[in-house]
Structure 1
Amino acid sequence: MTATRPRAASFDHDRLKSAIAKANIPTLLPVLYQLTGDEQWLQARYRPTRTRGMEEHSDGGLPSHVRDEIRAATVKAVLAWADGRPPAVPAPNSDVLVELMTLSMGEPVPGEYEPMVAENMDIRPAPRRHVAETGSAPFVVVIGAGVSGLTASKYLKDAGIDHVVLEQSARIGGTWRENRYPGCGVDTPSYLYSFNWFRRNWTRHFGRREEVERYLEDLARHYNLLPSIRLGVKAIKASWHETARRWVVRVREADGTEQEIAANCVITAVGQLNVPKVPDIPGMDEFEGPLFHSAEWPDSLDLHGRSLAVIGTGASAMQIVPAVVDEVASLTIYQRSPQWIASNANYFQSVSSDVHWLMEHIPYYYEWYRFRLSWVFNDRIHASLQKDPTWPHPEYSLNAVNDSHRAYFTRYLVDQLEGREDLIAQALPTYPPFGKRMLLDNGWFKALLRPHVELVTRPAAGLTPHGVRDADGFVRPADAVVMATGFDAHRPIHVEIIGRSNKSLKEIWGDDEAEAYLGITTPGFPNLFFMYGPNTNLGHGGSFIFLAERQIRYIVDALCTMTEQGIETIECRPEVNERYNRALDEAHSRMVWTHQGMDTWYRNSKGRVVTNMPWRILDYWKITRTANLADFHVEWVIPSTESVGR
């Protein structure tokens, strides 16, 4: 946590006052304490109320005269700091940091979170590993240049590890390059869905796809990652060579030519959500209009005055419908199951220049603003997702807190659809809140109320040349059909990978039984690592960017230790993998995603949760801090008897 003073010429006192007037009060309070050390600001008079739901809670629930007092004191403290007075508490100790966390949130934040928060705020930064100067550093192939692949490249470069990133497309960006449908964007706040070491003045509180894609492109340029990325190169197959102790990755260039790349290690960074899941609906070959998956939205599609059918009501559909509702003549939505939806007043809001100014000029404001977002959107609700075996209504909720969530979200739904009892009955879920990913209301309910929009609760059973037939045989006209039906997430690796004993990853995992230790590594595949692998999806909320950083830090730690100790291969022990996944399954058995009253893509054909992580963000942070080589079979460097060139 640093406090860099602005240059005097650029520090405008009037600008300070106007920006502070728009500041988030619960964020200002710990800032004020760090600058002054005055314990007055820890008193009950200034403590914000608890943030409800996923709102920003800018006024902290405090009376206007108390807010004015906090603002005036902050202006005075910042001016003193800018004139040379050092912060009174630049690096709060553990007890003080916990108190400030609780102060900012208006509710107890457990002390066990303090080490992670201190690291994230750079109060006690995590040590960065670097390959030993005398060691033989490995060469690494990274597959994919989306969020995970770019994160991997940045950390590998910082660690001095030679690598190449293979990206089958002509541009970087992964899902943010591929998904170009109207309304596409993040449902995690922009200031959380970003790296704290590469900051951005976000234009919106919830960034649109284009801005996220630009952010990733700017990151790659800023850190000079592009020379390590080969665009238009598709990884076809990766094979482990036992004698040489090397991976050989066969790739196909954009012109169709193929070649092989040898590597000590391979990191698959292709993610879970990259292969569209297209349902087999009778009559698809007969439909005469545009028919496509949401991830393959045609650039030239003109929907003006046309009838559109949307199959699905998940996250993609919820973004598409409000974005096109004013353009189409009619809109029919085919719902398999309703979704729980939370309100957020900032969803459509632009980030003001005042907020940008505060982030750039006020010491500690960015860190505390980001902390508040992380608490609201990460682990805060995790405890409420546990099943209470004594709860009398398990069909509707899991426990008392989860039931209060149900009441809260139900009230919001009823308020938004007031007067439309038919829509309320159709849109109200019967399963517990958070049983599927909680979605944010981006105008969905308002769109449902439009006279030219129809919500159909019977599945799409077939297509005709000019329409969609539901399960009752009724045909509704459609000039275009978009399938917002998600992705093939049960097989997260769509590259042929051959490990020891010539066994393929698909052979071991089957079609939907993927599992890996920490979601990062699996027995039988030495020096192979996954990012966004099995059971690393954040079902309870949060930013995947944080998880990607945890995974690559773990991988880099392993690679640096291998180099230092002269280790050539590490392979996860079967008993370690089995023990981890048994604990994972047991944890899931007590959680909402194994609730039998719903259907979700989180589970495979046998009902096992194969995508989501049952742990808290904090738990995963703890278990991925270092790579314990006792979890692996280890082979030391020996003279190579087989030559395989890059």
Structure 2
Amino acid sequence: MTSPESIDSDDFRQRLAEALPSANIPTLLLLLHQFTGEERWLQAPYIVDRSRWDDNDSGGLPDAIQDEVRAAALDTITAWRAGKPIAKPDLTADELIRMMSFSESSKIPQEYAGLMMHRLKRYSGAAPEPVALKKGFHALIIGAGMSGVVAAFRLRQLGIPFTIIEKQDRAGGVWHSHHYPGCGVDTPGHLYSYTFASGDWSMYFPLQEEVEGYFNRVARQTGVEELVRFGTECVSTRYDEESHTWHSRLRLPDGSEEVLVTNVVISAVGAFTTPKFPPIPGLQEFDGPMVHTSKWDPTIDLHDKRVAVIGNGASAMQLVPAIADTVKSLTVFQRSKQWAAPFPKFRKKVPESVRLLFREVPHYEWLYRLRLSWIFDSQVHETLQKDPEWPHPERSINATNDGHREVFTRYIKEQLGDRLDLLEKVTPTFPPFGKRMLLDNGWYKSLLKPQVELIDGPVNKIEGKTVYGPDGEKRDVDVLVVATGYDVSRFLSPVEVIGRQGVTVREAWDDDDSQAYLGTVVPNFPNFFMLYGPNTALGHGGSFIFTVECQVDFVLSILRQMAEFSLVEVECRQDVYDTYNQHIQAMHQKMIWSHPGMSTYFRNARGRIVTNSPWRLVDYWKLTRQADLADFYTVPKAPNSQHRTESVPTEFEYTADPEPYHFQPGSTSA
């Protein structure tokens, strides 16, 4: 979405030459093949090494070969810039799979071709066909964070009238509200981007301020920002069965309220909204500054202070290295251990010259992002399946997972050196990826600092400014930081959602037993859609943004069919909902997150996995491309009509195929 700079030919060639030494060699090889049409760029001596953990900038090629690739790229891109046509401007699905398989030195299954072509089409800015809904149709989008912005953008593209509200004073969602020291993404920025909007990231893994700026810039450039009613909160929304509309009670910036009536409600409130505080006696009476990482107070002075951090999850691992050299002492209380993988591009800047390459040569960016989507979205999933014949289920779930354990353990030993006391404290006993996989942004090195102490156990109680550990040890502190995460199992908690017969979604879910069909729709809540719903999080890695885009496509498919068939109500069938959730839980039982060796926020109080998706991204993309009305009860537009139509419901069955389980909604085939 950035505009090309005005650069003359000589200056462009010079700046391109400055960029290429830092460019990604496998991506340049793909670009050379596409631009020249020459097969040699996908053959020896340019065969790249396989890389599992990063984007493999060098491709593992000798320096002389890398220099040859860069020199060819310089001439080829300069010629294209001067007007030479691209030899293969429209890649076929087969060719794209062949190219990507070459760049990864790994056979990418043919079924990914459609997904990659879909992404490539989105990257190039293709717009969908507009939707003609009945006159007066209106939708409400709750939230202008990452999910709300894409929903508003897509609805606007299709010409669907909507109102979008946001309780904060600007867009960005959690990236606006969360700003603790060290806060950032653990997904590459070029992947943590909408398919329709480039990021122009200054760092390969950007920090909070830049991520927030990205979402606000996209909202502004797409025209969404000017439509958002900021400072407006949805307190409750109630479905009226007679009129087939939702009545949403909004709290306005001045404290007054209004009721907005819409045909559809799209919740984009997210999951990281309600902080979780541990039930520690005396916590709320701490006699000093106390702050949760989700509600960081920048006025709190940490300089030369005795600080205690409760928790050692994702936010703590970012916070501790960021403040360790500021405080007088830092005590970390860990309830459970965590795996953290090497993070070679931590705080690594994208050179200005390479940023120009991304901006000025969109084909390079598209191919680079496609490679990232395979490396980070798709490779890990198969390694998270339990091998029932594996002889060491207490430490790992299969041979590959055991190999991961060896790699990560060796890395921890390298980081800690002779601190064997710390090695025992930080090395988990459960399998890697069993809990959220973290990236080491200096965590292990921070633990070696003389002013940093790790206590292996939870806080027992707090009295005044004294924090008591699990064995009665006590630490007097000046500032208390609570880094214990969020109440993620209670989806939709920021809004009271009331469906048929006055039943709230909390009652429908028995409080925290959150479920949804495709993470998006729930029976007895017609015309209500949620983004980032239950069982959509990517525990196997990758960018969640694309998952949300898939959900939005699914919602738009339903709205398009509401227009086509003159429907006023669409509601998920109970049997479809039940069968789907039984199916994905059966899938989870074969995956690592049901391993009994750890506690995790992935599971609710009943032990059911409510956050993570069991699907590969390609599976979820296929399932959400087109909604099947056979999975829904529908009510057509007709005077005084309340008749609900139905068709053959979805059936789900396991296949003997070695690939992960597949099914097609609305059919009887798996």
TM-score by structure 2 length? 0.92
Q: Is the 8 A contact 1:118 1:125 kept in 2?
A: no
Which residue type is aligned with residue 616 of structure 2? R
Which digits, 9 at most, give the CA deviation of each residue in 1:159-216, with x for residues without a partner?
Answer: 1111111212222211011111111111111111112322232111111111111111
After TM superposition, give the deviation of residue 5 of structure 1 in Å.
12
Q: Give the CA deviation at 1:8.
A: 4.8
Letter paired with 1:442:
N
In 1, the alpha carbon distance for the partners of 2:178 and 2:140 equals 25
For residues 189 and 10 of structure 1, the distance between their equivalents in structure 2, rounded to whole angstroms, comes to: 32
Which residue of structure 2 aligns with residue 637 of structure 1? 637
Shift of 1:155: 0.8
Moved more, 286-295 or 315-324: 286-295
Single out whichever of 317-326 and 537-546 deviates more from structure 2.
537-546
Q: Which residues of structure 1 form unaligned runs of 5+?
A: none
Q: Does 1:403 align with 2:402?
A: yes
- Indicate the residue corresponding to 2:512 in structure 1: 512
Tell me the equivalent position of 2:57: 58
CA contact (8 A) 1:143 1:269 kept: yes
Partner of 2:27: 27
Asked if 1:212 is matched to 2:211, the reply is: yes
Q: Which moved more, 1:111-120 or 1:316-325?
A: 111-120
CA contact (8 A) 1:244 1:641 kept: no
Match of 1:434 in 2: 433
Distance 1:276 1:477, change over 3 A: same
CA offsets per residue over residues 282-326 of structure 1, 9 Å max, x none? 012432111121111112011001011111110000010001001
Counterpart position of 1:563: 563
How far does residue 255 in structure 1 lie from its aligned partner after superposition? 2.5
Seq. identity, %: 44
Instruction: Give the C-alpha shift of residue 127 in structure 1.
Output: 6.8
Paired residues for 1:140-219 under 5 Å: 140-219=139-218
- The Cα of 1:531 is off from its aligned counterpart by 0.3
Match of 1:47 in 2: 47
Q: Counterparts of 2:167 and 2:359 in 1: how far apart (Å)?
A: 37
Match of 1:104 in 2: 103
Query: Partners in 1 of 2:436 and 2:68 — Cα distance?
Result: 40
Runs of 4+ in 1 over 6 A off after TM superposition: 4-7, 123-127
- Gap change, CA 1:238 and 1:99, over 3 Å in 2: same
Query: What is the rounded CA distance, in whole Å, between the counterparts of 2:563 and 2:383 in structure 1?
Result: 43
Q: Which residue of 2 aligns with 1:476?
A: 475
Contact kept, 8 Å, 1:102 with 1:108, in 2: the verdict is: yes
* 2:376 alignment partner in structure 1: 377
1:607 and 2:613 are equivalent in the alignment:
no
Whether the 8 Å CA contact 2:22–2:351 is kept in 1: the answer is no
Separation in structure 2 between the aligned mates of residue 333 and residue 129 of structure 1, nearest angstrom: 54
Deviations along 1:50-97, whole A, 9 cap, x unmatched?
1132x2321111111111121122222223323332111112222221
Counterpart for residue 664 of structure 2: none
Partner amino acid, structure 1, of 2:161? D
SS at match of 1:333: strand
Partner of 2:616: 616
Task: Determine if the alignment matches structure 1 residue 81 to structure 2 residue 80.
Answer: yes
Specify the alignment match of 2:490 in structure 1. 491
Contact kept? 1:240, 1:247, Cα under 8 Å: yes
Aligned CA distance change for structure 1 residues 603 and 363 (closer, same or farther; 3 Å): closer
Q: Partner letter of residue 44 of structure 2?
A: A
- 1:36 and 1:9 map into 2 onto residues whose CA distance is 20
- Check the 8 A contact 1:466/1:477 in 2, yes or no: yes
AA at the equivalent of 1:207: P
Instruction: Give, as a single letter, the amino acid of the residue that structure 1 aligns with 2:74.
Output: V
Give the aligned partner of residue 450 of structure 2.
Answer: 451
Q: Secondary structure at the match of 2:250?
A: strand
- Residue aligned with 1:237, SS: strand
Per-residue deviation, 1:9: 4.6
What does residue 262 of structure 1 align with?
Answer: 261
Q: Which letter maps to 1:213?
A: E
Amino acid at match of 2:331: T
The residue correspondences of 1:544-555 to structure 2 (distance < 5 A) are 544-555=544-555
In structure 2, how many angstroms separate the alpha carbons of the residues matched to 1:37 and 1:423? 55
Provide the rounded CA distance (Å) in 2 between the counterparts of 1:641 and 1:363.
Answer: 52
The Cα shift of 1:126 comes to 7.3
Q: How does 1:586-605 map to 2 (within 5 A)?
A: 586-605=586-605
Instruction: Read off the aligned partner of 1:597 and give its amino acid letter.
Output: G
Partner amino acid, structure 2, of 1:636: P
Q: Which amino acid aligns with 1:20?
A: L
Change (3 A) 1:286 1:6: closer
Code of the aligned partner of 2:240: H
1:334 CA drift (Å): 0.5
The aligned residue for residue 37 of structure 1 is 37
Report the TM-score, using the length of structure 1 for normalisation: 0.96
Note if contact 1:6-1:361 (Cα within 8 Å) is conserved in structure 2: no
Counterpart contact for 1:31–1:363, Cα < 8 Å: no
Assess if the C-alpha contact under 8 Å between 1:138 and 1:559 holds in 2.
no
Give the Cα separation in 1 of the matches to 2:434 and 2:297: 32
Q: Distance in 2 between matches of 1:475 and 1:429?
A: 25
Aligned-pair CA distance for 1:6: 8.0
| C-alpha contact 1:116 1:621 (8 A) present in aligned 2 | yes
